[in-house]
Chain A
Amino acid sequence: MNYDLLKQLVAVTATLGLYSVLYKENKFYRFWEHVFLGLASGWALVALWTEVLKSGWWDKMLGASASDGNTASMGYWMYVVLLPIGLMGYLVFSKKHNWISKIPIGMILGFYSGQQFGAWMTYYGPLFTASMKPILPNQSGFFKPADAAAGSVYGSEALTNIISLITVLTVLTYFLFSFDVKGKLLKASSTTGRWLLMIGFGAIFGSTVMMRFTLLIDRMYFIWIEFIKQGLFHMK
């Protein structure tokens, strides 16, 4: 048995182990669950050093000499300041000195808040603009022909935009929590908004189910096609 097939065999056993919980709780499942957790933790620990601390801090602090086609780089000793700032965060566990931990936390909050000003506008700006749609047709036909000119609004598009506008407004009224909704119109709008939200959640739930099915199909493909059919029996 070659190495690739052996790897696949372990993966198939792990898959069966984890799926065995569907029948009932058992030790085979527990074993593979712990293997998975251990591997993930170990991998994360190594990656924390190699991908984050070493390349992003240690190497930059010490610099490097030219070797094997790589150019030399200067070390920046100021990076050493980051160590005590980072360690301050752990003082959150000290009853006496936990106030010190607020310094790095404050820095992180400050950086994040500063970013969010621009981020908010980049995220919502185009969504606001896209919500402003024409609701009156400027062409006589109902369906948009294939050679329609830019800027032309046909009946079908206007109707779609009206539905979109109604959805936006009614859903917004559903979230009016700051005062008591008493008016008939507002109540009807709020109820419509709730119904439309439910339809939206239904569509999202449908997508979720489809995704979960795909994950199961993928595992079955791995076991039956990639491992058994192609791996063991060498069939295409």
Chain B
Amino acid sequence: MAMNESQAPSLAEKLQSLPKQVIYGILLVTCTVPLFFSVKLPNKPIDASIDFYGQTMKLPDNGRVIICSDWTNSTRGESKGEMEVLLKLLMRKHIKFVLMSIGDVQAPQVAKDTIREVNALEKLTGGTPYKEFEDYVNLGYFAAGEGTILAVNNKILSIAQGKKDFPEGAGPKDALQSPVFQGVKSVEDFNMFYLVTASSTNRTVLERITKCPLMFMVSGVMVPENNSYYAAKQLKGLCGGVKGVYDLETLMENGINNGSDSVESDLYRGEKIPGWPGKGNTGKGTAYYLALHFALALLIIAVIVGNVGMLLSKKGSK
């Protein structure tokens, strides 16, 4: 009996050897349960997100932009929320856009699916759905990213030449015939170049686009790197990960320097930038933010438990 007791694992050993299946199980529950509760956490948007919103809102209504969509379903958790919020902003300001991709062959289809979903959401809140070819034109995927982006900067019409758009219910159409390209001579005729990415295409774009202002929407892991570009004013604004999406959703609801509930910012001192209160602004950012906090809390607890176990075992061995 005494021998059995001496062989039983100590508390320190137990704390350091939790079965991984148990940890995964706890993580799954932690990430799932908060999704059923609609809790809006308090939020103070960061400068990069405020600039992203402010600069987009300052674009002329009925303007024209380029969206380089380089994400696929592998980063849907972050990139889809970013794409949704960008599309909502552009649609509400009636800004036409060229859609292209240099990151992945699946990216154009994933972007088109998202546009279809956002169209349906905007229709529910009284917005006007975007029509392919009329309001946006899809140039599809380009294999040589570096050369393509250089061509976008120097001779944008050359990359659209020969490209067909495939609007629903119609045959293939020459992309250059789209109203989006009417009057376009160079990339300077576009008000902004947006990049939604979860890969290294951020650098390809940053190195080559010099004639059009840039704004990036990147995954959480890319935020530290891209913050440098934002700080060096290479980017007009930056949206990073779920925090960036939640920031933009908050800004869309409340606006900037726009009254008691709005986000106050020195970046736009003396300016009032409106939002669209109550117009279906909540999306993936709001839905995921609470669950993310619970997951991060679990991580911190796990680190503490592991370290306490290690300290106890060290103490026991002395």
Interface stretch, picked from B8-16, B50-58, B221-229, B304-312, is: B221-229
Contact flags (1/0) for A104-145 with B, using CB distance below 8 Å? Answer: 000000011001001110110011011000000000000000
> Are the C-beta atoms of A127 and B228 separated by less than 8 Å?
yes
**By the criterion CB–CB under 8 Å, are A115 and B171 in contact?**
no
Let me know if A210 and B35 touch, CB within 8 A: no
Picked from B21, B172, B292, the residue with its CB within 8 Å of the CB of A213 is B292
Complex CA gap A182/B8 in Å reads: 52
**Candidate in A73, A207, A211 with the most chain B CB atoms within 10 angstroms:** A211
Measured between alpha carbons, how far is A188 from B295 in the docked complex, in Å?
38
What are 30 A-B pairs with beta-carbon distances under 8 A? A22-B20, A22-B24, A43-B105, A47-B106, A50-B140, A51-B108, A51-B140, A52-B141, A56-B142, A56-B143, A71-B174, A111-B147, A122-B206, A122-B210, A126-B229, A126-B234, A127-B232, A130-B228, A130-B231, A147-B269, A204-B221, A207-B222, A207-B224, A207-B241, A210-B220, A210-B241, A211-B219, A217-B292, A218-B284, A219-B77
Q: Distance (Å) between the CB of B28 and the closest chain A CB?
A: 7
Q: Which residues of A contact B299 (CB under 8 A)?
A: 209, 213
A163 at the interface (CB under 8 A from B): no
Q: Which of A86-94, A95-103, A151-159, A220-228 contacts B (4 or more CB under 8 A)?
A: A220-228
Distance of A71 Cα from B175 Cα, bound (Å): 11
**Chain B residues packing against A (C-beta within 8 Å):** 20-21, 24, 27-28, 31-32, 35-36, 74-78, 80, 105-106, 108, 140-143, 146-147, 150, 161-164, 171-174, 177, 203, 206-208, 210, 219-224, 228-229, 231-234, 241-242, 266, 269, 284, 287-288, 291-292, 295-296, 299
With A71-B177, A112-B146 in contact, is A214–B203 under 8 Å at CB? no
- Contact residues of A: prevailing secondary structure: helix
Binary B-proximity of A65-86 (CB < 8 A = 1, otherwise 0):
0001111010000000000000
The interface residues of chain A lying within 8 Å CB-to-CB of B291 are: 217, 220-221
CB distance from A55 to the nearest CB of B (A): 5
Q: How far is the CA of A213 from the CA of B296 in the complex (A)?
A: 8
Picked from B77, B105, B219, B229, the residue with its CB within 8 Å of the CB of A217 is: B77
Contact B105 A44 (CB under 8 A): yes
Closest Cβ of chain A to B111, distance in Å, is: 13
Residue numbers in A under 8 Å from B203 (CB-CB)? 123
* Residue A146 at the chain B interface, CB threshold 8 Å: yes
CB A62 to nearest CB in B, in angstroms, measures 11
The verdict on A232 contacting chain B, using a C-beta distance below 8 Å, is no
**A207-B241, A213-B296 are known contacts. Are A115 and B208 too (CB-CB below 8 A)?**
yes
* Chain A: minimal CB distance from B283 (Å): 11
A220 with B35: CB separation less than 8 A: yes
A73 to B162, CA, bound (A): 9
Instruction: Pick the residue among B32, B162, B269 that contacts A220 (CB under 8 A).
Output: B32
Q: Is the CB of A52 within 8 A of B207?
A: no
Among A59, A111, A217, the most chain B Cβ lie within 10 Å of the Cβ of: A217
Pick from B77, B223, B224: contact of A215, CB below 8 A: B77
In the bound complex, residues from chain B placing their C-beta under 8 Å from that of A213 are: 31, 292, 295-296, 299
- The reply to whether A55 and B140 contact each other, CB–CB distance below 8 Å, is yes
Chain A neighbourhood of B74, CB < 8 A: 215
* Shortest distance from the beta carbon of B212 to any chain A beta carbon, whole Å: 13
Name the residue among B31, B75, B76, B234 with the largest chain A CB count within 10 angstroms: B31
CA distance A61 to B260 in the complex (A): 62
State whether A211 touches B174 (Cβ < 8 A).
no
Given known pairs A68-B171, A221-B287, the reply for A211 and B296 (CB within 8 Å) is no
- Smallest CB-CB separation from B240: which chain A residue? A207
- Give the Cβ gap from A219 to chain B, nearest Cβ, in Å: 8
Q: Which residue, of A43, A129, A216, has the highest number of chain B Cβ atoms within 10 A?
A: A216
A22-B21, A47-B141, A214-B220 known; A123 vs B206 contact (CB < 8 Å): yes
Complex interface: chain B residues within 8 A of A208 (CB): 220-221
- A51/B105 in contact, CB under 8 A: yes
How far apart sit A130 and B296, CA to CA, in the bound complex (Å)? 33
CA A209 to CA B206, docked complex, whole Å? 26
CA distance A73 to B175 in the complex (A): 13
Contact of A218 among B77, B142, B163 (CB under 8 A): B77
Given A43-B106, A130-B232, A213-B31: A115 touches B150 (CB 8 Å cut-off): yes
Given A55-B163, A68-B171, A130-B232, verify A207-B177 contact (CB < 8 Å). Answer: no
B35 is contacted by which of A51, A56, A225 (Cβ under 8 Å)? A225
Beyond the given A213-B31, A215-B74, A219-B77, could you list 12 further A-B residue pairs with CB under 8 A, ordered by the A residue number?
Answer: A52-B143, A56-B143, A69-B177, A73-B162, A130-B231, A208-B221, A210-B220, A215-B75, A218-B80, A220-B35, A221-B35, A221-B287
State A209–B31 Cα separation when bound (angstroms): 14
